[in-house]
Amino acid sequence: MKPINLSFSACGFLAVYHLGAASALCRHGRKLLKDVKAFAGASAGSLVASVLLTAPEKIEECKEFVYAFAEETRGQVFGAATPGYDSMARLRSGMESLLPPDAHELAHSRLHVSVSDTKTRENALVSSFPCREDLIQVLLASSFVPLYAGLRPVEHQGQRWVDGGLTNSLPILPVGRTVTISPFSGRSDISPRDKGQLNLHLTVANQDVTLSVANLARLRQVLFPPRRTELESLHQRGFDDAVRFLLEEDRFEQDA
């Protein structure tokens, strides 16, 4: 059997969709998760991948963090770009509370985080984490949207990095089959199936998406979070889409 990888797309506050999918995999796809060789992700997708790999028992706690972070951001005059509001510090606090002390050891060689080099504008997949702080720095770098999150890119190992979603928003690993997860309708394995969508697709930063009104609405929500009720609906949709995938793959398991 080919090795299986899981890859979570860049998606900002739509990460609640990923968390819904991750929750479904933990509940109904335990055998599939045991077969997963590596995890990958860009931006917010890399954060979800890191929690699913190193602390799956905290998926629900991570969801509540995103809800609170979204509400806090909505309360700012200009969202995360409001002068004096440090969204990256808030994100770091979440990572500090969610990732276990040995997260870097669990993630080493198994987690592939997409980041963008500010000098060459090329993509890199980082999978080596000498210490927990290195892991957190790489995750923060992958989520750093220039101007929106601040003016100074994240420095790591003498280089400056920004959002991995700018250059590779849905990493496909070279060995085995990569199961892709995205809150945008398109050709990903786990993604919404919008009603009445046109069969027109666009590939942006390695992610295939459908040209649809629904995706345009989702695009805005990446940086400008919707209300909690909408986030809850998105979380449920991620859960349902992952269950559909498991059923189609004949890998669905009933709760123990």
- Name, in order, each residue with C-beta under 8 angstroms of 151's C-beta and a sequence gap of 6 or more: none
Q: Active site residue: 7, 9, 23, 43, which one?
A: 43
Mean pLDDT, range 127-156, rounded to an integer: 91
User: With pLDDT > 70 as the criterion, what percentage of the chain qualifies?
Assistant: 98
- Name, in order, each residue with C-beta under 8 angstroms of 145's C-beta and a sequence gap of 6 or more: 12, 43, 162, 163, 223
Q: Active site residue: 50, 163, 188, 241, which one?
A: 163
| Separation CA 83–CA 78 (nearest Å) | 8
Sign of CA dihedral 94, 110, 174, 191: negative
Determine, yes or no, domain membership for 26. yes
Determine, yes or no, domain membership for 122. yes
Answer whether 12's CB lies under 8 Å from 223's CB. Answer: yes
Determine, yes or no, domain membership for 59. yes
Determine, yes or no, domain membership for 255. no
* Domain interval for residue 51: 4-249
Query: Which CATH number characterizes residue 50's domain?
Result: 3.40.1090
Is-catalytic flag, 7?
no
pLDDT in tens, 68-87: 999 999 988 888 888 888 89
Determine, yes or no, domain membership for 209. yes
Determine, yes or no, domain membership for 34. yes
| Separation CA 156–CA 53 (nearest Å) | 22
pLDDT in tens, 191-244: 998 875 666 777 877 888 888 888 888 888 888 898 999 999 999 999 999 999
How many structural domains comprise the chain? 1
Is-catalytic flag, 86?
no
Determine, yes or no, domain membership for 82. yes
Determine, yes or no, domain membership for 156. yes
pLDDT in tens, 123-132: 999 999 999 9
Q: What pLDDT does 85 receive?
A: 87
Q: What pLDDT does 1 receive?
A: 67
